[in-house]
Amino acid sequence: MNLPLPKYLATLVSSPQPVKHTWDAGDDMVALGNETPAMLKNLGALSFRAVLGLEAALGEWMVARFAHLTKDPTADLVNDAVWAASIDYRYLKRDALDFPDASGPVEGPLRDFNGGSRDICEAYPDAEFGAVRYLIGSANLVKYVLPNSKEFQAWFKSVVQQLPALSKPAARQAGALDIQIVKQPPIGVSEAIFGTPLPREAYDPSFDIAAADPVALINAMLARIASRPNPYLYTPAELKAAGFPGTPYQYPA
């Protein structure tokens, strides 16, 4: 992994578990699960930037779960790209997020998760509430592939509870909404509605984010991401050639 492994994933990587889940016809739909009113309410309280960041954090659970079973770097590269996009969406090569079909209980779930990340990234720039619905599927998929999901569920609950206060406005307020959730028109698509950019540490419940320098943390993350070639991200040279203002992979740009 290019980014340092979060402490909460250390046990998952150091104690590899064999595959116990199945991945036969129809299992992918079972794994993605169903959305519930409670999940829609809780995840709808996240900003769109927090939705992207949480997708990347969930992707790290997927990478850690299968680290001893595959050497394919695709999922790790996609996670880096989504982390970067959560800070500045212009970094992302959205059209490059195209993944071949895959089968089996390892490559199948990883491919489906990458596909979910692509779908969230496609919904994001239009502030579509569908991004939240795809995030629910990603969370359910992580839970499905873990032999024991107790630690994951505790982490997920803690993160979802703390993110709304760190990055506003909520997706259900900012985006094109399900009329059954909020009976008001969208605010409209502008940079302000995507929420405050958050460092990766904001997704670690054990980290004291209130005492940290978020800009320094964001720039440290972006520097590490930019140090590795990534087919899903524009290079600094490509961004500058396209007229990117400021310094690529530095926040604020």
Provide the number of structural domains found in the chain: 1
- Cα-Cα-Cα-Cα torsion 102, 51, 252, 203, nearest 10 degrees, comes to -90
Residue 247 belongs to some domain of the structure:
no
User: What is residue 187's predicted lDDT score, i.e. its pLDDT?
Assistant: 52
Residue-level pLDDT at 69: 95
Residue 126: inside a domain: yes
Domain that holds residue 180: 8-14+21-241
Selection from 6, 237, 54, 33 nearest residue 143 by Cα: 33
Give residue for tokens 């959205």: 94
Q: What is the pLDDT of residues 196-216, one digit of tens each?
A: 999 999 999 999 999 999 999
The whole-number pLDDT of residue 179 equals 42
Place of tokens 């995507």: 194
Residue type, 248: P
In a domain, 34, yes or no: yes
Residue type, 18: P
Determine the Cα angle at 163 with ends 159 and 169, to 5°: 155
Q: Which residues contact 78 (CB under 8 A, 6 or more apart)?
A: 59, 97, 114, 117, 232
Residue 162 lies in a domain: yes
Does 249 fall in a domain?
A: no
**Does residue 252 lie within any of the structural domains?**
no
Q: Does residue 248 form part of some domain? A: no
For 55, 83, 181, 251, the CA distances from 178, given in Å and listed in that order, are 21, 26, 5, 33
Indicate whether 251 belongs to any domain: no
Q: Which among 128, 189, 147, 195 is positioned nearest to 168, based on CA atoms? A: 195
Cα 23 from chain centre: 23
Mean pLDDT by runs of 10 across the 253 residues of the chain is 86 90 94 95 96 98 96 96 97 97 96 98 92 97 96 98 96 70 54 92 96 97 97 97 94 87
* pTM for the predicted model, two decimal places: 0.95
